């Protein structure tokens, strides 16, 4: 049961969301236990592989170049650093690595070739690989799938109506198209939203309705609480009440029984008791490690203590789907062949020159000629 037929309209979902809190939690906990192991929680590590300097104007985002948030922009991380970070994440108990880039969309360039290599490498370490790189074309999604990508995160963030109040540089439909491309390539879809941006409850329900209308709803639905970052247009937003996140998690759980509900950004402001109620109400995944993309998150040790106290266990990788195979990438292979050919040609030219007793012309710098003249005086 991908979607719950009892709650497939705006009205029924809204009624569900507004149910007496503990009744809602009980209903969500019951559904959760029918479809998932309630003790298992997936730990997913986030890694910002390309930080800041983004051209978009997402009102919540500290990585948009136009806002003064103090985030230092960095170019794409090297494949070696990604492997190091993935090793740390795995050693700390994470079963998934989500690599995020502050891009509007993916461009077919050397950076993307490197991301393909990162996906191949991390997949070969036995971790579920997820990426969140902005908008994707059909071909780019296929290339990522071929490299061994398990999941792609692309959030709708809110209802279509509220979206336009928060972002003006792209449209809701652009996001829906990317999700379709990801789905079409056979990649697991991770898509959710943010609460606490000033939206109404109707917008939260509108977000869920967008997924309800899909032929296949996302396998994973992150629920983020806004991290109000100084310098962004949403810096003044007041923190949500703990029961709002519990309600949102529980409603999502009941509406999409098979999906994994991810308790995402904003956990540093949630007590262990609130998080406990979220797990009770069906949250099956968290982002682990002391940093999200640019903002703080609870430390591994803190979460490990919480897991002990609440009796939770980290979920192993590939429980919900097989590990994808990493195939050779055509573009990278072509580039390798070309580089090899160039190297060979150069070597042949050198060998030929030596054979012909060729003496290379030596150019001297103007300064060294002047120096020589000075010395000979
Ligand atoms: N640039 C890509 C994109 O927009 O899809 C990927 C990175 S973007 C930072 C990933 C998601 O992080 C956003 O879609 C948004 O839902 C979430 N996010 C960003 N800033 C946030 C904040 N301050 N609080 C909560 N969630 C946030
Ligand atoms: C998601 O829904 N939340 C994560 C992940 N997907 C990529 C990102 C949260 C980012 C919070 C702000 C920051 O750290 O920059
Ligand atoms: Fe750029 Fe993504 Fe941040 Fe929007 S959410 S500004 S697209 S990094």
In tens, the pLDDT along 238-278 reads: 999 999 999 999 999 999 999 999 999 999 999 999 999 99
Closest by CA to 268, choosing from 223, 236, 225, is 225
Ligand of minimum distance to the alpha carbon of 195: 1
| pLDDT at residue 332, rounded to an integer | 92
In 281-365, alpha helices (H): 300-310, 330-355
Percent of the chain with pLDDT over 90: 92
Ligand of minimum distance to the alpha carbon of 53: 3
Angle separating helix axes 110-124 and 138-147, nearest 10 degrees = 30
Ligand 3 near 58 CB (within 6 A): yes
Distance of CA 196 from the midpoint of ligand 3 (Å)? 17
Percent of the chain with pLDDT over 70: 99
In 18-129, alpha helices (H): 21-35, 79-91, 110-124
- Distance, CA of 278 to CA of 258 (rounded, Å): 16
Q: Please, what sign has the CA dihedral across residues 106, 108, 114, 120? A: positive
* Residue 340, beta-bridge partner list: none
CA 227, distance to chain mean position in Å, is: 16
| pLDDT at residue 374, rounded to an integer | 82
Backbone angles phi, psi at 205, to 5 degrees: -70, -40
| Planar angle of CA 201, 205, 207, nearest 5 degrees | 115
- Return all residues near 365 (Cβ < 8 A) that are at least 6 apart: none
Per-residue model confidence as pLDDT tens digits over 332-353: 999 989 999 999 999 999 899 8
| pLDDT at residue 344, rounded to an integer | 94
Distance of CA 53 from the midpoint of ligand 3 (Å)? 9
Most ligand 3 atoms within 8 A of CB, residue of 99, 104, 158 to mutate: 104
Backbone angles phi, psi at 134, to 5 degrees: 95, -160
Closest by CA to 324, choosing from 135, 179, 188, is 188
Distance of CA 156 from the midpoint of ligand 3 (Å)? 12
Active site residues: 54, 58, 61, 98, 130, 190, 262
Closest by CA to 211, choosing from 162, 250, 265, 154, is 154
Closest by CA to 17, choosing from 263, 227, 208, 286, is 208
Whole-prediction pTM value?
A: 0.93
- Distance, CA of 22 to CA of 28 (rounded, Å): 10
Give the chain's residues under pLDDT 50: none
């Amino acid at each position: 049961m991908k979607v719950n037929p009892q709650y497939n309209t705006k009205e029924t979902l809204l009624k569900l969301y507004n149910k007496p809190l503990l009744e809602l939690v009980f209903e969500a906990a019951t559904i959760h236990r029918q479809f998932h192991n309630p003790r298992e929680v997936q730990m997913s590590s986030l890694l910002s592989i390309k930080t800041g300097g983004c051209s978009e104007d997402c009102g919540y985002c500290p990585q948009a170049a136009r806002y003064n948030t103090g985030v230092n922009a960095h170019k794409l991380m090297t494949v070696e650093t990604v492997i190091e970070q993935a090793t740390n994440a795995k050693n700390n108990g994470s079963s998934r690595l989500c690599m995020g880039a502050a891009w509007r969309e993916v461009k077919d360039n050397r950076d993307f070739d490197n991301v393909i290599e990162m996906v191949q490498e991390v997949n070969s370490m036995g971790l579920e690989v997820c990426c969140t790189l902005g908008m994707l074309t059909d071909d780019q999604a296929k290339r990522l799938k071929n490299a061994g990508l398990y999941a792609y995160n692309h959030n709708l963030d809110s209802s279509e109506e509220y979206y336009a109040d928060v972002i003006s540089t792209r449209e809701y439909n652009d996001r829906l198209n990317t999700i379709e491309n990801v789905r079409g390539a056979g990649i697991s879809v991770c898509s959710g939203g943010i609460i606490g941006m000033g939206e109404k409850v109707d917008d939260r329900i509108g977000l869920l309705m967008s997924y309800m209308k899909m032929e296949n709803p996302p396998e994973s639905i992150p629920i983020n609480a806004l991290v109000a970052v100084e310098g962004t247009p949403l810096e003044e937003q007041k923190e949500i009440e703990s029961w709002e996140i519990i309600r949102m998690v529980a409603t999502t759980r009941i509406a999409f029984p098979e999906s994994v509900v991810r308790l995402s950004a904003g956990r540093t402001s949630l007590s262990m008791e609130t998080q406990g109620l979220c797990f009770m109400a069906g949250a099956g995944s968290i982002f682990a490690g002391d940093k999200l993309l640019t903002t703080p998150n609870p430390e591994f040790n803190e979460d490990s203590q919480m897991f002990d106290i609440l009796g939770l266990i980290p979920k192993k990788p590939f429980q919900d789907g097989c590990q994808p195979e990493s195939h050779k990438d055509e573009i990278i292979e072509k580039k390798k062949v070309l580089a090899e050919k160039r190297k060979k040609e150069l070597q042949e030219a050198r060998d030929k020159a030596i054979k012909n007793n060729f003496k290379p012309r030596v150019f001297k710098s103007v300064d060294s000629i002047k120096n020589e003249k000075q010395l000979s005086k």
